[in-house]
Amino acid sequence: MTSIYILGAGLSSTVLINYLIEHSEKYDWQIVLGDTDLRLAQKKVNKHPRAKAFQFDVLNPLQVEEVAHKADIVVSMLPARFHAIIAKFCIKYKKNLLTASYISPEIEAMQQDALEAGIGIFMELGVDPGIDHMSAMRVIDRLKSEGAQLTAFFSGTGGLIAPQSDNNPWNYKFTWNPRNVVVAGQGTSMYIEKGQNKYVPYQRLFKNTLTTSIDEYGDFEIYPNRDSLKYRNVYGIENIPTLLRGTMRRKGYSQAWDVFVQLGMTDDTYRMEKPENFSFRDFVNSFLPYSESESVEEKLKTQLPELIDNTVLKKLKWLDIFESISVPKEAQTPAQILQFILERKWILEAEDKDMIAMQHQFEYIRANGSKGKLISSLVVIGKNQSETAMAITVGTPLAIAVKKVALGEFTQKGVQVPVNPEMYLPILEELEQIGITFNEIES
Amino acid sequence: MTSIYILGAGLSSTVLINYLIEHSEKYDWQIVLGDTDLRLAQKKVNKHPRAKAFQFDVLNPLQVEEVAHKADIVVSMLPARFHAIIAKFCIKYKKNLLTASYISPEIEAMQQDALEAGIGIFMELGVDPGIDHMSAMRVIDRLKSEGAQLTAFFSGTGGLIAPQSDNNPWNYKFTWNPRNVVVAGQGTSMYIEKGQNKYVPYQRLFKNTLTTSIDEYGDFEIYPNRDSLKYRNVYGIENIPTLLRGTMRRKGYSQAWDVFVQLGMTDDTYRMEKPENFSFRDFVNSFLPYSESESVEEKLKTQLPELIDNTVLKKLKWLDIFESISVPKEAQTPAQILQFILERKWILEAEDKDMIAMQHQFEYIRANGSKGKLISSLVVIGKNQSETAMAITVGTPLAIAVKKVALGEFTQKGVQVPVNPEMYLPILEELEQIGITFNEIES
């Protein structure tokens, strides 16, 4: 019997857990689910005879070691910062580890140790990162095999609200970790265009978006996501003159979000001094100069004339950001306060459905010298509150990979991302069987 | 004989070293000057019978320990990040330590240990921080003793170029550590105005400056400097409704500097990928979107329409920033490259003189109910290349404090800043004897 440990039983794990439990009888697996919240883990395994729950605290190294010792395969769905400690013990006990998170510098540094232990640390197996890599690489490898030369690759992914549940002026709700949305993009984003490296600091990030559309789903905008430059190596397209990976939002989102960025409301590095009854309106006013005569709304227009127009003001007002509603004591940094304000309004209702949108655009010169363009788009709509589009697209490719590792079909060693056909082909094929299918338009 | 160790023999130490050597015979001191560059230290002590030089490396803890063991008093002129390790050994060997740097969180945390060791860690004894605190506190304590109630306190300090040497469109040259100038203001600045706390993120810092003028010296602008809020406690004016400490520049500087900030050119956190012959112009272009048709200059105008006007363009062009001059290999981060570009042009010539400008503005209600305003201004012009205004105003108050500690006149224990009259009065009085005098205008 193969013992598969899943660490983290939150919303994003549901589809993964169900997939593995469903296949447990057939393949003779035992599924062991750990979470700080034992009841949550118990609920998720639902007394299945091949699954059990336990109370797991990643901050207890003895417990992490015990997991690595007992497990045959470890799957971490915990926040990315915890993967390194888990990987350390997986190396010690020579157990394969799989996650849906970006390779961190700490994980990258374990390459040699993982190779020597003879294990695979399979990373970036969710949707973004994950399905984005796999679907892009399938097209890139196909074009290469046809003798085409890639001249540009743009790629965007967004976790959004489905059109049928889209009923607010931001065309956005939290469908994923709200904190990550609030602090998204901090630092410098990098991409390459026509052979020129471009560096976009946070304060410019939401000002220069690309726009695109997906058939039947309307318009989107894309802002650059982290370091696209390194994907020239990861994707084996070292000489491509244009490469940009980005985050998708509905049109108009970025200009309004930029108001928060410019004012400093997304800063998570200091605690604000908050007097009694500190309100949403006081919060906004804290980032605007004092004025004897101008209102908060007027000062906002004076300070950010290039950003504030009627559509942006409508978005801001809809959030109640100019109201005298009290900020709770627990919210202390600007980012925490902004998150509180947003969570009141951007919350998924019980009947709401989320949406994952992804689009790749490839430009190339064919072997015969003609220019080609291929647009490959994916939209996944959530089924219900637990089987969200995010949980499906993060959990399913990861679960398939776990299955392949358990069956001895994925035998790669070292730190891996799914960019080789031995990995991406079987995963994409199985995803297609459940309707996760890219629509390709070539011109 | 009292043994006074000075660590760091750079430009900023010259006046300090000379002062202590000049007084060494009278007070029976031995001056011991350590620097990584032994020849520099030897040159500075100039074979004086009561002074000696040694090779000192702060990264060698054994050597730091030896200094703390042998010295009676330690003065650190090293970069601020090294003070904590020196303080640690000063506490161990119960020796007083003096510096001209801001109290860091590490130094602040040594309060109890310093008190228990019965030593003083005297910080912020230069010009800014230093003379700014002392001169402000003298006025604040005087107004308090007259029964006045402070309603506002604005304070600005700048290390600038003297009018007679001011011959470029920025009205600025490096008179101090260039790197500190390039990265100045990163993070969030905080102040209070009419009872409202104000938070200014880096991307807004150079957009909302105050303007002021000093008789005979013309106009200046002031941008907020770090956390002014904490000085309500430090200065004992907890209930003051308006308090802002800032950095002074010549009028027009901030708008042009903001171009670098907005584009991301002051970022010191990542290395740029630089192709062969990467030029100043390429550097600027790295922060601007690709365009088929627009030049770098045109893109700059398109991207930052609110910042780029003819006076700003003139400043930028004067720096050769649009030229095809190669960036050297050693300059890797944006901040390092920008510093290289600036150092070509903002360099002090042999005959150039620098200037320290400082101004406090106090608003208050007198005991009789009438409103008062007091403007207290200081300008110090450098004498020559070694006795710069910066070296004089940093070194002299620190040297006076060292003397007072050596003579047993400053006996304070724990971590200290010069905000009490026992410290600021004797220092300010001696500064006045050498012409460092504030001009007060009351209305």
Rounded to the nearest 10 degrees, how much is the dihedral formed by the CA atoms of B71, B74, B79, B82? 60
CB-count exposure of residue A78 (10 Å: 0-12, 13-18, 19+): buried
B245 plus B302 within the same structural domain = no
Average pLDDT, chain B: 97
Question: Smallest CA–CA separation between B263 and chain A, in Å?
Answer: 7
Distance between CA A296 and CA A307 in Å, rounded?
15
Rounded to the nearest 10 degrees, how much is the dihedral formed by the CA atoms of B318, B321, B327, B328? 30
Angle in degrees, CA B98, B104, B108, rounded to 5 = 80
Nearest CA in chain A to B260: A201
- A226 membership: H or E segment, kind and range: none
Question: Smallest CA–CA separation between A372 and chain B, in Å?
Answer: 20
Q: With a CB-CB cutoff of 8 Å, which residues 287-346 of chain B face chain A? A: 287-290, 303, 305-306, 334
Residues sharing a CB contact under 8 Å with residue B140, sequence separation 6 or more, in sequence order? B150, B153, B235, B236, B237, B362
For the stretch B232-275, pLDDT in tens is 999 999 999 999 999 999 999 999 999 999 999 999 999 999 99
Distance between CA B212 and CA B251 in Å, rounded?
9
A302 plus A361 within the same structural domain = no
Q: What's at B239, amino acid-wise?
A: N
Please indicate, yes or no, if residue A233 is contained in any of the structural domains: yes
B233 plus B275 within the same structural domain = no
Tokens describing residue B50: 């009561």
Angle in degrees, CA B117, B121, B125, rounded to 5 = 165
Residue B289 and residue A262: Cβ atoms within 8 Å?
Answer: no
Mean local confidence (pLDDT), A294-305: 97
B221 plus B208 within the same structural domain = yes
**Does residue B414 carry a pLDDT above 90?**
yes
Mean local confidence (pLDDT), A134-145: 98
Nearest CA in chain A to B208: A289
**Does residue B11 carry a pLDDT above 90?**
no
Beta pairing class for B188-193 and B196-201: antiparallel
A170 plus A239 within the same structural domain = yes
Q: Which candidate, A119, A61, A82, places its Cα nearest to that of A8?
A: A82
**In CATH, what number is assigned to the domain containing residue A143?**
3.30.360.10
CB nearest B290 (choices: A193, A204, A272): A193
A200 contacts on B by Cβ (under 8 Å): 264, 287
Distance between CA B152 and CA B195 in Å, rounded?
10
Distance between CA B174 and CA B179 in Å, rounded?
10
Q: Which candidate, A218, A150, A127, A128, places its Cα nearest to that of A374?
A: A150
Residue B203 and residue A203: Cβ atoms within 8 Å?
Answer: yes
Radius of gyration (C-alpha) of chain B in whole angstroms = 23
A222 plus A289 within the same structural domain = no
Distance between CA B144 and CA A383 in Å, rounded?
69
CB nearest A199 (choices: B193, B202, B286): B286
Residue B270 and residue A334: Cβ atoms within 8 Å?
Answer: no
Nearest CA in chain A to B202: A264
Residue B285 and residue A196: Cβ atoms within 8 Å?
Answer: yes
Nearest CA in chain A to B230: A273
CA distances A404 to A398, A399, A424, A441, B14, Å, are 10, 9, 11, 31, 70
Q: Tell me the pLDDT band of B15, cut-offs 50, 70 and 90.
A: very high
Residue A273 and residue B197: Cβ atoms within 8 Å?
Answer: yes
CB-count exposure of residue B43 (10 Å: 0-12, 13-18, 19+): middle
Distance between CA A341 and CA A280 in Å, rounded?
8
For the stretch B133-173, pLDDT in tens is 999 999 999 999 999 999 999 999 999 999 999 999 999 99
Among the three residues B123, B143, B158, which one is the final residue of a domain in this structure? B123
Please indicate, yes or no, if residue B417 is contained in any of the structural domains: no
B204 plus B149 within the same structural domain = yes
Q: Tell me the pLDDT band of A11, cut-offs 50, 70 and 90.
A: confident
Q: Which candidate, B140, B387, B339, B119, places its Cα nearest to that of B243?
A: B140
Q: Which candidate, B356, B319, B354, places its Cα nearest to that of B339?
A: B319
B203 contacts on A by Cβ (under 8 Å): 202-203, 261-262, 264
Mean local confidence (pLDDT), A293-299: 97
Mean local confidence (pLDDT), B328-343: 98
Tokens describing residue B378: 């200081």
B333 contacts on A by Cβ (under 8 Å): none
A290 contacts on B by Cβ (under 8 Å): 193-194, 196, 198
Mean local confidence (pLDDT), B380-392: 95
**Which residues partner with A443 through β-bridges?**
none
pLDDT at residue A425, rounded to an integer: 98
Tokens describing residue A106: 């700490």
CB-count exposure of residue A45 (10 Å: 0-12, 13-18, 19+): buried
SS (H, E, C) A41-77: HHHHHCCCCCEEEEECCCCCHHHHHHHHHHCCEEEEC
Tokens describing residue A32: 């062991």
Among the three residues A83, A105, A123, which one is the final residue of a domain in this structure? A123
CB nearest B287 (choices: A199, A272, A306): A199
- Report the half-sphere exposure of A395 (CA within 13 A, side-chain side): 24
pLDDT at residue A290, rounded to an integer: 97
Q: Tell me the pLDDT band of B217, cut-offs 50, 70 and 90.
A: very high
CA distances B334 to A150, A390, A410, Å, are 30, 37, 42
Please indicate, yes or no, if residue A283 is contained in any of the structural domains: yes
Distance between CA A377 and CA A437 in Å, rounded?
8
pLDDT at residue B46, rounded to an integer: 94
Distance between CA B439 and CA B443 in Å, rounded?
13
pLDDT at residue A186, rounded to an integer: 96
Please indicate, yes or no, if residue B332 is contained in any of the structural domains: yes
Angle in degrees, CA A220, A225, A228, rounded to 5 = 120
Is A259 an 8 Å CB contact of chain B?
no
Distance between CA B75 and CA B13 in Å, rounded?
10
Distance between CA B125 and CA B74 in Å, rounded?
14
Q: Which of A199, A271, A284, A332 to mutate to test the interface with B (most CBs of B within 10 A)?
A: A199
Q: Which of A194, A290, A291, A337 to mutate to test the interface with B (most CBs of B within 10 A)?
A: A290
Question: Left if phi > 0, otherwise alpha if psi is -120 to 50, otherwise beta: which for B416?
Answer: beta
Whether this model's ipTM surpasses 0.85 comes out as: yes
Question: Smallest CA–CA separation between A319 and chain B, in Å?
Answer: 21
**Does residue A12 carry a pLDDT above 90?**
no
Residue A172: give the domain boundaries.
131-253+349-381
A246 plus A377 within the same structural domain = yes
Q: Which of B203, B306, B338 to mutate to test the interface with A (most CBs of A within 10 A)?
A: B203
Please indicate, yes or no, if residue A407 is contained in any of the structural domains: no
Please indicate, yes or no, if residue A212 is contained in any of the structural domains: yes
Residue B290 and residue A198: Cβ atoms within 8 Å?
Answer: yes
Task: Please give the share of chain A, as a percent, with pLDDT higher than 70.
Answer: 100
Residues sharing a CB contact under 8 Å with residue B429, sequence separation 6 or more, in sequence order? none
**3-state DSSP call for residue A143?**
helix
pLDDT at residue B12, rounded to an integer: 86
Residue A286 and residue B188: Cβ atoms within 8 Å?
Answer: no
Residue B290 and residue A188: Cβ atoms within 8 Å?
Answer: no
Is B228 an 8 Å CB contact of chain A?
no
Q: What's at A308, amino acid-wise?
A: I
A76 plus A183 within the same structural domain = no
Q: Which candidate, B92, B411, B378, places its Cα nearest to that of B217?
A: B378
Q: Which candidate, B276, B260, B277, B253, places its Cα nearest to that of B334?
A: B260
Total number of domains constituting chain A: 3
Among the three residues B68, B97, B123, which one is the final residue of a domain in this structure? B123
Alpha carbon A3 to chain centroid, angstroms = 28
For the stretch B189-215, pLDDT in tens is 999 999 999 999 999 999 989 999 999
pLDDT at residue B45, rounded to an integer: 96
Mean local confidence (pLDDT), A202-208: 96
pLDDT at residue B48, rounded to an integer: 97
A155 plus A174 within the same structural domain = yes
**In CATH, what number is assigned to the domain containing residue A89?**
3.40.50.720
**Does residue A176 carry a pLDDT above 90?**
no
Residue A263 and residue B289: Cβ atoms within 8 Å?
Answer: no
Structure letter (DSSP) for residue A308: -
Q: Which of B194, B199, B274 to mutate to test the interface with A (most CBs of A within 10 A)?
A: B199
**Does residue A293 carry a pLDDT above 90?**
yes
Mean local confidence (pLDDT), B344-358: 96
Is B198:B190 a contact under the CB 8 Å cutoff? yes
B27 plus B147 within the same structural domain = no
Please indicate, yes or no, if residue A57 is contained in any of the structural domains: yes
pLDDT at residue B176, rounded to an integer: 86
Q: Which of B190, B194, B202, B204 to mutate to test the interface with A (most CBs of A within 10 A)?
A: B204
Distance between CA B280 and CA B291 in Å, rounded?
18
Tokens describing residue B76: 């650190």
Handedness of CA A247, A250, A256, A257 (dihedral sign): negative
Please indicate, yes or no, if residue B439 is contained in any of the structural domains: no
A23 plus A111 within the same structural domain = yes
pLDDT at residue B67, rounded to an integer: 98
